[in-house]
Structure 1
């Protein structure tokens, strides 16, 4: 994301001043990369590993963890050196905060707090924002000229919504959207298991659905994603997290991961998820192809 780029030169310069002789893990010990147990995280973990092994003399070891709290504790203890995390997850789930939703403010808050409380370094976000959104079929977007949530709020009474039950009940789901935007009183609302929503909208049993913005199924079903123009939903920008001791011992790795800053768009992350989930491509192969397409590895 462009607003994070201004941090890049400052952080790079600071990293160059850190001694390569700093204490830390042995030179022949692999870089330990963690990730959570879903496709997007698996791709990012392999992306970190591919980048490190292609651009340094280090090897990488990638381990999957069950969820946020487990991999976070592993990072704090340096059992894991690096893992990809989302700003909104850190802000809400780890730090239990709810007040901010501006992307830069949330990033600054988690970056400073993680450093002070946990000695964990945040890299610069990689560009994509995996947050809640609304999606519609292309013909609905064209008929009603839908590009943003504000556009949708004005015509919701003519459209049918299918959504996960949790989204319909949570304060940071539909109730909060209605309060922030006004309107959003749909003609019909159908609660549904998350796994069935895409089939329902594809079969024209509904017109609008809740979704995660980088879900590969958005590509599979050819849906149009609407813009949260009032930034109601928390930002979930993904960035590399590094254990502070590891970062001090290996500034070359911390600097290398900065090359991922603002490199991955929502659409590109969607495409990578789609290739793994729908085409059956190996996560490492998808990650390597993407890095090559950006000129980050040979």
Structure 2
């Protein structure tokens, strides 16, 4: 880490402390060692200092550690800057150069960072719009997006899906048209009333929300409420580990109502130009990730209580990207 970066980081950490903590926390070292697997040492990255950041929720921490493990195996000198509290703080750390790369989400970039109000339904088009705009305005490079799409959806129990042959949101709507008594929903209070929430879903898919029964819950309790039969359809985030743990089935948003939130690695363009090998190392790792994979990894942390760094390391080893030291 350069003296300039250390000075800037120290100042930012001090400011965060005065403001009750914006979330930049770091051990400045990986908590374990890995050895090369299919990721081989890259001469151009040997000894290059790379600070990897993440936001402070499980999935983003796991993704951050996945990037750290990959770059460590490639020979970089990785600095662990995961667990930055809040999207804005994580974004600012990247822009300022205190972090060299982190993972973010296309919908977050388009709506929260770039200030757009209308999402783009098709995920490739959404990615390309964010990629081009963020590069032009902020000098940030979005690498190719992954198949991880952490957006909204409705979920049902496996038995309910089998009984009613449900695969898509259109299937759900057809069922509640035939049998209105089936239209029992567990929703967050805000989602139940927002135009980009339940009323918007109803308008897009063509059903009357007033003809359904809505039960409101906090985000964390919707999953168990749906699993326990307090409702037939629960509002969920598509990559939440509790979906796997509770044997829920996510219904496809076949009319593409909800914004696309595909995960991608973001880094400053100047850093990308100086170290193009980073994108090459991470490309096969990004390609190996999808919703089922990240959902299972999230469950290892949130349900099984494992450390996100260990979860990331073990997945990278299972996939053959790295190997673990003997003994």
TM over 0.5, shorter chain: yes
- Show the counterpart of 1:74: 93
The alpha-carbon distance between structure 1 residues 184 and 60, as it changes in their structure 2 partners (threshold 3 A), is: farther
1:184 Cα deviation from its structure 2 partner: 5.7
1:261 counterpart SS class: helix
Q: CA deviation at 1:142?
A: 1.4
Q: For the Cα contact (< 8 Å) 1:165–1:192, is it kept in 2?
A: yes
Residue in structure 2 matched with residue 121 of structure 1 by the alignment: 141
Cα separation, 2, equivalents of 1:195 and 1:290 = 26
Does 1:224 pair with 2:244?
no
Structure 2 residue aligned with 1:37: 56
Closer/same/farther in 2, CA of residues 184 and 210 from structure 1, 3 Å limit: farther
CA contact (8 A) 2:52 2:78 kept: no
Does 1:266 find its partner at 2:299?
no
Asked if 1:109 is matched to 2:109, the reply is: no
In structure 1, the residue matched to 2:190 is: 166
Q: Note the 1:40-59 alignment, pairs <5 A.
A: 40-59=59-78
Tell me if the contact between 2:148 and 2:294 (Cα under 8 Å) persists in the aligned partners.
yes
Deviates more, 1:35-44 or 1:197-206: 197-206
Structure 2 residue corresponding to 1:291, chosen from 316, 319, 324: 316
Whole-angstrom CA distance in 1 between matches of 2:79 and 2:250: 36
CA distance, structure 1, for counterparts of residue 108 and residue 319 of structure 2: 27
SS for the counterpart of 1:136 is: strand
- Structure 1 residue 191: Cα displacement: 1.2
Verify the 8 A CA contact 1:136 1:225 in the aligned structure 2: yes
Match of 1:176 in 2: 200
Structure with the bigger RCO (C-alpha within 8 Å, sep 6+) is 1
CA deviation string 1:15-48 (max 9, x = no partner): xxxxx69xxxxx7563111111100011011111
Distance 1:129 1:59 in 2: 27
TM-score normalised by L of structure 1: 0.87
* Distance in 2 (alpha carbons) for counterparts of 1:273 and 1:184: 35
Structure 1 residue 219: Cα displacement: 1.2
Cα distance, 1:84 vs. partner?
Answer: 0.3
Is 1:215 equivalent to 2:234 in the alignment? no
Gaps of 5+ in 1: 1-19, 22-26
Q: Name which of 301, 313, 321 aligns with 1:276.
A: 301
Q: Residues of 2 paired with 1:236 and 1:202: CA distance?
A: 25
Q: Secondary structure at the match of 1:260?
A: helix
Gaps of 5+ in 2: 1-43
Root-mean-square deviation over aligned CA pairs: 1.7
- In the TM superposition, residue 88 of structure 1 has moved relative to its aligned partner by 0.6
Contact 1:31 1:60 in 2 (8 A): yes
**Which has the larger Rg?**
2
Query: Which stretch has the larger CA shift, 131-140 or 150-159?
Result: 150-159
Contact 1:55 1:297 in 2 (8 A): no
Cα distance change, pair 83–221 in 1 and its aligned pair in 2 (3 A): same
Answer yes or no: is the 8 Å Cα contact 2:81–2:99 preserved in 1.
no
* Equivalent residues, number: 274
Query: How far, CA to CA, are the matches of 1:139 and 1:115 in structure 2?
Result: 46
For 2:55 and 2:151, how far apart are their aligned partners in 1? 16
Q: Is the 8 A contact 2:47 2:75 kept in 1?
A: no
SS of the counterpart of 1:35? strand
Moved more, 204-213 or 191-200: 191-200
Structure 2 distance, partners of 1:268, 1:234, is: 21
